[in-house]
Amino acid sequence: NEVKFIGFKFNSEGMSTDSDRVKAVQELSMPKNKTELQSLLGFVNYLRAFIPNYSEIISPLRDLLKRNIEFRWEKNHTDVVEKLKGLISERTKLANFDPNKPINLECDSSKDAIGFALFQDDQPVHYGSRSLTDCEQNWAQIEKEYLAITYACQKLHNYLFGHKSVTIFTDHSPLLAIHTKNFDKIKNNRLKNLKLKLLHYDFSLKYKPGKELYSADLLSRNIIPTRSSEPDSGDIIHSLCCNELVVSSEKMDLFVQETSKDPVLKHILEYYHSQWPNRHTLNQIGGDLVHFHNLRNDITVEGGLVYLNQRLVVPTSLRAMMVDLLHETHLGLEKCKAKARQLIYWPSINSQVENTISKCYVCQRFSRKNIKEQLINHDIPDTPFSKIGLDVAE
């Protein structure tokens, strides 16, 4: 009723660690240098699937492997190794996968790693995690969270592909709005690429607070070095843009500089790469941050600029210039508003456009409502009914 295979035992209840493997771990001696420590972690790492908080536990041991750090074995390191031995001795079981049962998949990302945990009937079936590359560590938090979901789906492809009852949980609520958007509505190319990789899978994405996402949160803090062979996804996906705001490189640099100095947009840049605070904190800071907080699910940052969907959010110092450019050819009020809705955005943009046009001397002088239509004379007919006039009334 039980089979041993590559260090694990399989039976009708699920998968657990082999007692011979556990005994080998319990008999491990304390390492005396970095090489022995690497061997110990490599040996224990084979059983990491049974220890959801593995990375948290071995954090003091990882510190000893850093460059320019002297190897000094102390009591706290011994305690970590003993704790690992005790946890492995408990021999946590992973349940067997049942394709007929619903799947719950928890995904999370920390600043250095991503992790996931697959459950059926609240029983763990599979754990997984990997560290982020140097490039990925510089991604925005929403991109890391989406990467965690993509990595989990690809890693669990044999479990998820074709399954009709899959629910994925994330603790990053803005991701829900991004995931439901069409590709042409997503400004960020990296998010487009990640969304493209998920088209193979049929699942519903739901929000769960981080304090309830225990397993995935712990796994995402595993930063054992691994390398991804995938190229940077920022240069892979390109899309057709229906509206384009053409600016010179000098103007682009000016927009980036003014955005970084803007009292509101500089906070949005920070919150986008970390986490939005609550409304109480934003009320204390003041400005239009509360307004942008309501739109945070549609905000993206690319190249140091802030976008609302596909519209550029203009910093305060450049808004008057942008309104003048919109009205440069003296378009009417509605046409100017329509053009603004396609390209740029800031709070109360319609009011500022209306005020500018209402003060325009040229528009006021040549406005249609001030031009009187001249009467057109016509020849008097010689005979009755030689000229007939018709009109339609409701």
Question: What's the CATH number where 58 sits?
Answer: 3.30.70
Residue finishing a domain among 41, 56, 90: 90
Whether residue 131 is found in the same domain as residue 253: no
DSSP, collapsed to helix, strand or coil, labels residue 227 as coil
Q: What are phi and psi of 353, to 5 degrees?
A: -65, -40
Answer yes or no: is 392 within a domain. no
Cα distance between residue 172 and residue 309, in whole Å:
18
DSSP label at residue 365: H
Model pLDDT, residue 370 = 54
Whether residue 228 is found in the same domain as residue 170: yes
Whether residue 86 is found in the same domain as residue 123: no
Whether residue 158 is found in the same domain as residue 119: yes
DSSP, collapsed to helix, strand or coil, labels residue 105 as strand
Residue 15: enclosing H or E segment and its boundaries?
strand 14-17
**DSSP states along 32-90:** SSHHHHHHHHHHHHTTGGG-TTHHHHTHHHHHHTSTT------HHHHHHHHHHHHHHHH
Model pLDDT, residue 232 = 47
The CATH number given to whatever domain includes residue 200 is: 3.30.420.10
Judge whether 304 and 257 are in contact, CB under 8 Å: no
Spatial neighbors of 241 by CB under 8 A, at least 6 apart, are 310
Model pLDDT, residue 251 = 87
Residue whose C-alpha is closest to residue 228's, from 342, 143, 347, 132? 132
Block means of pLDDT (10 residues each) for the chain, length 394 residues? Answer: 61 62 62 82 67 72 83 88 73 74 89 83 77 84 91 91 92 86 83 91 88 59 46 44 67 90 89 78 77 83 84 91 88 87 89 88 72 75 84 79
Q: How far is CA 146 from CA 1, 114, 162, 163, 223, in A?
A: 41, 10, 21, 20, 18
Residue finishing a domain among 90, 120, 143: 90
The token duo for 351 is 């009011």
The token duo for 223 is 């930063």
* Beta partners for residue 113, in sequence order: 131
Q: Which burial class, exposed, middle or buried, applies to 304 when counting CB atoms under 10 A from its CB (0-12, 13-18, 19+)?
A: middle
Answer yes or no: is 186 within a domain. yes
Judge whether 126 and 117 are in contact, CB under 8 Å: yes
How many domains, in total, are found in the chain? 3
Spatial neighbors of 189 by CB under 8 A, at least 6 apart, are 233, 234, 235, 236, 237, 238, 239, 302
DSSP, collapsed to helix, strand or coil, labels residue 242 as coil
The CATH number given to whatever domain includes residue 295 is: 1.10.340.70
Answer yes or no: is 374 within a domain. no
Could you tell me the residue range of the domain that residue 62 belongs to?
A: 3-90
- Residue 124 CB neighbours (<10 A): 18
Whether residue 285 is found in the same domain as residue 364: yes
Whether residue 83 is found in the same domain as residue 113: no
DSSP, collapsed to helix, strand or coil, labels residue 126 as strand
Greatest distance between any 2 Cα atoms in the chain: 124
Answer yes or no: is 385 within a domain. no
Whether residue 81 is found in the same domain as residue 107: no
The token duo for 366 is 């040549």
Residue whose C-alpha is closest to residue 268's, from 231, 312, 232? 312
The token duo for 360 is 């325009």
Spatial neighbors of 84 by CB under 8 A, at least 6 apart, are 25, 44, 51, 57, 58
Give the Cα-Cα-Cα angle 27, 30, 34 (nearest 5 degrees). 130
Q: What are phi and psi of 223, to 5 degrees?
A: -120, 35
Residue whose C-alpha is closest to residue 145's, from 102, 203, 208? 208
Residue entry with tokens 């740029």:
344
Answer yes or no: is 198 within a domain. yes
Cα distance between residue 187 and residue 60, in whole Å:
41
Answer yes or no: is 231 within a domain. yes
Answer yes or no: is 115 within a domain. yes
Whether residue 83 is found in the same domain as residue 110: no
Whether residue 119 is found in the same domain as residue 224: yes
Whether residue 229 is found in the same domain as residue 261: no
Cα distance between residue 332 and residue 246, in whole Å:
22
Answer yes or no: is 333 within a domain. yes
Whether residue 126 is found in the same domain as residue 151: yes
Whether residue 226 is found in the same domain as residue 292: no
